[in-house]
Amino acid sequence: MPLHSCLNLILIFHLLMLIPSSSSPSPEELSQIPSIFLQHAQHPEVFDWMVDLRRKIHENPELGFQEFETSKLIRAELDRLGISYKYPVAITGVVGFIGTGNPPFVAIRADMDALALQEGVEWEHKSKVPGKMHACGHDAHVAMLLGAAKILQQHRHLIQGTVVLVFQPAEEGGGGAKKMLEAGVLDNVDAIFGLHVSSRHPFGMVISKPGPILAASGFFEAVIGGKGGHAALPQHTIDPILAASNIIVSLQHLVSREADPLDSQVVTIAKFQGGGAFNVIPDSVTIGGTFRAFSKESFIQLKQRIIEVITKQANVQRCNATVEFNEDQKPFFPVTLNDQNLYKHFRTVAGDMLGTNNILDMQPLMGTEDFGFYGEVIPGLFYFVGMKNESVGKFEQGHSPYYIVNEDVLPYGAALHASIATRYLLEYSTKSASTKGHSYDEL
Ligand SMILES: *[C@@H]1O[C@H](CO)[C@@H](O)[C@H](O)[C@H]1NC(C)=O
Ligand SMILES: *[C@@H]1O[C@H](CO)[C@@H](O)[C@H](O)[C@H]1NC(C)=O
Ligand SMILES: [Zn+2]
Ligand SMILES: [Zn+2]
């Protein structure tokens, strides 16, 4: 047995001795949990297992609500670990339970879906499915949450309550989190934590911020109807191309003239389709795009004004317009809002593991996460885990066909998940008002 693993075992043993299940651990004992969990996760036996899982998932990417094989792999590992779970939840989702089965409950979450994208990286474990790729790191997220499950199960004497493992489908636009909530996954749960790997931040660092960190978003599509005809005889037509162009220009006023300059918002037209010949004015034009805001109020206001500007500006040009938001397929995502108290907890635990100088303040982004759905219902905290290390490779942004994951980050994610949840229960169980007396009946 190498020295490394001896040391690890000694530390685990030490922790077992330190914290008998009945008594409360001292502050010093609590502060040791994160680094002990990290060492555990970095142990070759655990590390190699996580790497293997991540590669298997990477080779077989599945799109939102189709994560059947990924879900099967998760359940097989939970079975091996002796962890009970609920399945199916929201089609492919899996919800595991570790601990007493009684309150308080704390949730940790991973997303399972891949993207419709052809992998451009040539490596041994390249995606085997043409046109599909894990290019957002969700393969790593699943491996990390399973890693956390393994650590937690081995330290279940420390869990004063229940850790709920949330493996959700369809993060990439499908609103899998919304479906999980509708299935009652967070009923009686006091708090939820989620993470995302980050290609933009250095390995060994974590990044977050209290308050809003990611925007609310929606998509829209409008059909502008006019009357087609000969391009040389415009007087006999009602030109929807010019009308759509004016609509697009008018939509720019929503952010530049109507929004508070200190309240970030975006309106982008990303789709413009109409006509096909140089000498024919078409009957109609279709435009589409996305809108983003940092508060619910601004989001609702923006949505209302998009409808008004499109329909009324179309009328100015003698055209008609219809606006659709297709919420069935592309649900509106709420703002991802980090709870102040959970942020403090995250800082303390991550600081104990990595040192406070390795916790960076996050610059909010207009991007979205369907984690925001959870945060609307219970206190939530979302953070990023840096993985950039130029000697491993070139770290492209998420959703690039050249996206890579630095697998060294897997133990960090697993240990952060596990220690944040364990310490939440140890430190907050007395404070939280979770004397609701419910428990999950499948336990
Ligand atoms: C727009 O709708 C009105 C009322 O339904 C209709 O009379 C008009 O012909 C329509 N215009 C176009 C360009 O479709
Ligand atoms: C970056 O990767 C190289 C090569 O794998 C490794 O030797 C080095 O320790 C890594 N840096 C950090 C900060 O982990
Ligand atoms: Zn993504
Ligand atoms: Zn993602």
Mean of the pLDDT values across residues 137-162? 97
pLDDT in tens, 53-76: 999 999 999 999 999 999 999 999
CA 294/CA 196 separation, integer angstroms: 20
Q: Kindly give the distance from the C-alpha atom of residue 69 to the centroid of ligand 4, in angstroms, as a whole number.
A: 19
Listed residue (117, 173, 169, 116) closest to 138, CA to CA:
169
pLDDT above 50: residue 443: no
**38 three-state secondary structure:** helix
- Per-residue pLDDT band for 81 (boundaries 50, 70, 90) equals very high
99-118 residue pLDDT tens: 999 999 999 999 999 999 99
**Ligand 1 environment, Cβ below 6 A:** 225-227, 238, 319-320
Which numbered ligand comes closest to the C-alpha of 387? Answer: 2
Q: What is the pLDDT of residue 24?
A: 78
Q: What is the pLDDT of residues 263-286, one digit of tens each?
A: 999 999 999 999 999 999 999 999
Q: What is the atom index within ligand 1 of the atom nearest the CA of 318?
A: 13
- Ligand closest to 399 (CA) is 3
- Residue 320 Cα to ligand 1 midpoint, Å, equals 6
Averaged pLDDT of the chain: 93
Q: Which ligand is nearest to the CA of 409?
A: 2
Ligand minimally distant from the alpha carbon of residue 322: 1
Ligand 2, atom 6: closest residue by C-alpha: 391
Res 316 pLDDT > 90 = yes
Residue among 252, 212, 178 nearest 365 (CA):
212
Task: Say how far apart CA 142 and CA 71 lie, in whole Å.
Answer: 10
> Ligand 2 site: residues with CB under 6 angstroms?
203-204, 389, 391-392, 408
Ligand 2 centroid distance, CA of 406 (Å): 10
Write down the pLDDT at residue 75: 98
pLDDT above 60 (res 441): no
Report, as an integer, the average pLDDT of 221-245.
98
Q: In the predicted model, is pLDDT for residue 439 greater than 60?
A: no
Rounded mean pLDDT of 32-43? Answer: 98
Alpha helix segments (H runs only) across 19-99: 27-42, 44-59, 68-81
Answer with the residue of higher pLDDT: 364 or 434: 364
Of 1-5, 134-138, 410-414, the least confident: 1-5
Q: Whose CA is nearest to atom 7 of ligand 2?
A: 391
The predicted structure's pLDDT at residue 23: 66
Distance CA 148, CA 23 (A): 24
430 pLDDT higher than 90: no
Per-residue pLDDT tens for 152-193? 999 999 999 999 999 999 999 899 999 999 999 999 999 999
- pLDDT in the model for residue 429: 56
Residues 58, 69: Cα–Cα separation, whole Å: 12
Whose C-alpha lies nearest to ligand 2, atom 3? 391
What is the model's pLDDT at position 127? 98
State residue 58's pLDDT score: 98
User: Residue 17's pLDDT is what?
Assistant: 47
Residue 31 has pLDDT above 50, yes or no: yes
Q: For ligand 2, what atom is nearest to the CA of residue 203?
A: 13
What is the mean pLDDT of the segment spanning 214-222?
A: 97
**What is the pLDDT at residue 166?**
98
Q: What is the model's pTM? A: 0.89
Is the pLDDT at 12 greater than 90, yes or no? no
* pLDDT (average), residues 34-59: 98
pLDDT at 15: 53
- From 332, 355, 273, select the one nearest 31 (Cα to Cα): 355
Q: Report which protein residue has its CA nearest ligand 1's atom 7.
A: 320
